[in-house]
Amino acid sequence: MRELAAMLVVYSGVAAGHAAGSRVVQARWPIAQRLRPALRALAAAALAAAFALWPQTDSAALVVLGLVMTTAVSASLFVLVAPVWPRVAGATAAVAPVVAAILAAIG
C-alpha cells in the first residue's frame, strides 16, 4: 500500500510541476504566476516525500527506479489528459494526496 501511496504523491507532484510551467494555467489564473516558485517547491517536496514514503525493505536502486518510472508515466498521462479534461486532471491531482495519506495509514 505504501508503494501506491508514494506513486500517488508523485502524481500530485507532477501535477504541481505542470501547473508551474503551463502557459494555459498561467493565462487562466493570474495568481498562478505568483505561485510558480511555490508550485515548483511543492513538486520537489512531493518527490522527496514519495522517496521517504516507500518501504525501507526495498533497496535504494529499486526505489529510485520505481519513482523514475512513476514520474515518467504520470507526466505522460498528465500532459495528455490535462488539455482534454483539465478538471478531471486537476481533481485527481487534488484527491491524490488524500488517498495517499489513507493508503499510507493503512499499511
pLDDT tens, the chain, 107 aa long: 888 899 999 999 988 888 888 777 777 777 667 888 898 899 899 989 998 888 888 888 888 898 899 999 988 888 888 888 888 888 888 899 999 999 999 97
Per-residue pLDDT, 32: 65
At residue 51's C-alpha, the angle toward residues 50 and 57, to 5°, is: 115
Q: Is the pTM of this model over 0.85?
A: no
SS (H, E, C) the chain: CHHHHHHHHHHHHHHHHHHHHCHHHHHHCCHHHHCHHHHHHHHHHHHHHHHHHCCCCCCHHHHHHHHHHHHHHHHHHHHHHCCCCHHHHHHHHHHHHHHHHHHHHHC
Reported as a single tens digit per residue, the pLDDT across 54-67 is 888 888 888 889 88
At residue 82's C-alpha, the angle toward residues 77 and 88, to 5°, is: 95
